[in-house]
Amino acid sequence: MKIKFVYFGLGVLFLAHFGESQNATFDITKYGATANADISEAVGKAFKEACASTSPSTIVIPKGTFQMNQVLLEGPCKGPIELQIQAILKAPTDPNAIKTGEWLTVNKLDFFTMSGGGTLDGQGKEAWECKKSKKCTKLPNNLSFNSLTNSIIKDITTLDSKAFHVNVNQCKNLTFTKFNVSAPADSPNTDGIHVARASSVNITESSFSTGDDCISIGDETEQLYITKVTCGPGHGISVGSLGGNPGEKPVVGVFVKNCTLVSTDNGVRIKTWPASHPGVVSDIHFEDIIVQNVSNPIVIDQVYCPSGKCNKDLPSQVKISKVSIQNIKGTSRTQNAISLTCSKGSPCEGVEVGDVDISYSGKEGPAKSSCENIKPTFKGKQTPAVCSAGADAPAPAAAAS
């Protein structure tokens, strides 16, 4: 078996090349799958045989439109597996049809690939209305990847998920490339990719249009690289929210570089709850970012409380340190282009801001910044002047979570 590594930017894109072994192919139509019918059983049968193969295997869902109910693909398997989705897959429209929180789940695989140019359509419109009316509490994610290693997700679109498009948990050396997320701006809780308890995850050359965070980052995330990503609409790229649960482990090493955010509610953001449990956020780098018509382009928010039911008199206990904000340029939709609100109980440390050039052309006047419990270091251009506006600066514009 030959293994090839391709390096780009700050991250490592992992590709496995198995040129010396014969690839076994498992076409789901050979297992009873037919167009416009539920193919979940056929996918399960094809995976079972592929998983038992000692040579690299490819499961093919050919071009066409198929209905698919809940599917779980779980290893470990005897050899590398590729799930090649060429088709449009449609989830049940009924918000209650899937009971356990995931539509397609992939667990405990090494050298797994998902590819093919296909689309996973979560058909979320009915579920979003149910969520907004508070008649639904738990809706399924389109995709869930748990305990994957040395794996790649490429050339896949996830459309109109009922909840998160992708949940990544306990994975190591996982890459998303040419991955596309699409949902309306008003679709609730439709985060593009949520990463937690994972290391060496790379998200590159991908686009996100959704109703919540394009990429959200939970606890115990280490060495996450986000490069050449376009986000909008959505709530931006967010570390957190953190501190809401006891025992959260540190977020260390997040690199967001060469990304573009267009008409999002936030740009790059770190958010923690007030009155929180202890936590650590360190070694976070936002660099070479373009913002276009973004409401809150640069945010540290340690009094994050979207429900309005938090005790803001008690400070966040999440310690933020070693943060760099470099070469962020573009336009703000609100006057307060930069908001750095750190915890009064545990002020931010080691924050560096350099070469920021964000303009605002509204009737209130030029762009401003606001700062609390932080003393950044500076280099290069500062437009607006960071942390010079003092206590009179406007608060961040209200945005959805």
CB contact at 8 A, 37 and 70: no
* Element (DSSP H or E) covering residue 43: helix 40-52
Residue 259's identity, in one-letter code, is C
> Looking at this protein, which amino acid is placed at residue 186?
D
Beta strands in 92-197 (DSSP E): 102-107, 112-115, 119-121, 141-146, 149-159, 166-169, 172-182, 193-196
Cα 191 to chain centroid distance, Å, stands at: 6
Residues counted in the chain: 401
Strands 166-169, 141-146: pairing kind = parallel
Q: For residue 78, what are its two tokens?
A: 């005897």
- Structural contact between residues 273 and 241, judged by C-beta atoms closer than 8 angstroms: yes
C-alpha dihedral sign at 128, 132, 135, 140: positive
- 259 in helix, strand or coil? strand
Estimate to the nearest angstrom the gap between the alpha carbon of 70 and the chain centroid. 22
In whole angstroms, give the CA distance from residue 74 to residue 79. 13
Q: Which residues are catalytic?
A: 235
Residue with tokens 């789940």: 105
The CB-side HSE value for 122 (13 A sphere, CA atoms) comes to 34
The phi and psi torsions of 29 (rounded to 5 degrees) equal: -65, -20
